[in-house]
């Protein structure tokens, strides 16, 4: 059910085999990470992906979508395809112009829930487009996992716009912003977004130029506000180990409390005759886990 090739120069015969498998609906995961293929063969792969009803993950990381013509072909494929859930374009020189061409297909895709646009040379205009993929209500499907690592062209204005979208997103569960020069100001915006979000469980801020000031803000947020957050990555920042440990401990406590509540709810469902001793007990909103991260199933 998977084809995974990394860093190879693909022949026409290999491309034909891949396309045949796509058309036969026997491939769930196609990864051509860092491979070399001709313009014509890239078009063949896109047409095969368009026709496939089984393809769930498409990994074109590390420069495969290398020009505007390829962006257009991928966009056309995604307009027809209905099955892709995860799209990996990490390390593609999309720029805002390329994302603008791809965005209409992303916006209407019925199944897409995980998107990796790390190191894609995006700026503020690209972020504005991405915010449209984070709908504020359940009226339409939106992203559950988003990676925007290493896009240093985005300014604090762009990150602020993303923070607002995250705060109101009804579905986003995982947000990776590692290796962007965010700084303490943007981290403060993100802390407010996390406190407002009812769904965000994982936030990666590794190597983003944060200091103890950011960590203290995040600590206060975790300590004083109910949040769905379970994992906060702060490695490679100028933050003391003590503050990082305090945040980690608080997040672990929250997860343990939810697990206890979940067990109690399950027990009550199995035995409806169990009485509530405390009539003032609060119901805790539980969010179902995604299991293994969709974006982690293939290597970048």
Domain boundaries, the chain: 1-121, 139-259
Q: What mean pLDDT comes out for the span 15-22?
A: 97
Short-list 139, 95, 135, CA closest to 117: 95
* Residue 266 tokens, joined: 């399950």
139-259 has the same fold as 1-121? yes
Average pLDDT over residues 29-53: 97
Query: Which pLDDT belongs to residue 297?
Result: 47
Mean pLDDT computed over 268-278: 42
Q: 34: alpha, beta or left, given left = phi > 0 and alpha = psi -120 to 50?
A: left
Confidence of residue 273 (pLDDT cuts 50, 70, 90): very low
C-alpha 164/C-alpha 190 separation (Å) is 8
User: Any idea what DSSP says for residue 9?
Assistant: B
Q: What is the pLDDT of residue 253?
A: 84
Query: What single DSSP character describes residue 238?
Result: B
Mean pLDDT value across the chain: 88
Q: Which residues contact 238 (CB under 8 A, 6 or more apart)?
A: 209, 210, 211, 212
176 pLDDT more than 50: yes
Q: For residues 274-278, give the mean pLDDT.
A: 37
Q: Which whole number is the average pLDDT over 256-264?
A: 52
| Phi, then psi, of 6 in degrees rounded to 5 | -130, 125
- In order of 18, 99, 189, 269, the CA distances from 46 in angstroms are 11, 17, 39, 48
What Rg do the C-alpha atoms of the chain give, in angstroms? 21
Q: What is the pLDDT of residue 284?
A: 28
**Of 120, 81, 57, the residue nearest 294 (C-alpha):** 57
pTM of the model: 0.86
pLDDT at 136: 87
CATH domain 139-259 topology:
3.80.10
The CATH architecture of the domain made up of 1-121 is Alpha-Beta Horseshoe (3.80)
CB 179 within 8 A of CB 205: no
What is the distance in angstroms between the CA of the first residue and the CA of the last residue of the chain?
A: 19
Residue 214 has pLDDT above 70, yes or no: yes
């Amino acid at each position: 059910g998977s084809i995974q090739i990394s860093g190879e120069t693909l022949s026409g015969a290999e491309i034909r085999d891949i396309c045949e498998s796509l058309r036969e609906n026997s491939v769930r995961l196609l990864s051509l990470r860092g491979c070399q293929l001709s313009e014509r063969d890239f078009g063949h792969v896109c047409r095969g992906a368009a026709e496939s009803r089984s393809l769930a993950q498409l990994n074109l990381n590390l420069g495969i979508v290398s020009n505007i013509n390829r962006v257009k072909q991928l966009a056309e494929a995604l307009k027809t395809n209905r099955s892709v859930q995860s799209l990996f374009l990490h390390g593609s020189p999309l720029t805002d112009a390329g994302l603008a061409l791809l965005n209409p297909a992303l916006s209407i895709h019925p199944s897409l829930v995980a998107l990796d646009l790390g190191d894609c040379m995006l700026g503020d205009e690209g972020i504005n487009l991405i915010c449209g993929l984070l709908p504020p209500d359940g009226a339409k499907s939106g992203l559950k996992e988003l990676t925007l690592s290493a896009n240093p062209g985005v300014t604090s204005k762009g990150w602020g716009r993303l923070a607002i979208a995250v705060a109101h997103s009804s579905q986003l569960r995982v947000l990776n912003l590692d290796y962007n020069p965010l700084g303490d100001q943007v981290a403060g915006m993100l802390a407010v977004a996390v406190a407002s979000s009812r769904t965000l469980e994982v936030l990666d801020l590794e190597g983003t130029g944060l200091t103890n000031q950011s960590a203290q803000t995040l600590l206060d947020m975790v300590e004083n506000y109910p949040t769905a957050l379970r994992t906060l990555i702060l490695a490679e920042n100028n933050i003391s180990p003590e503050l990082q440990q305090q945040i980690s401990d608080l997040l672990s406590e929250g997860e343990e409390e939810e697990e206890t509540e979940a067990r109690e709810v399950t027990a009550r469902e199995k035995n409806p005759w169990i009485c509530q001793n405390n009539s003032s007990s609060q119901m805790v909103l539980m969010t179902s886990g995604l299991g293994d991260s969709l974006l982690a199933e293939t290597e970048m």
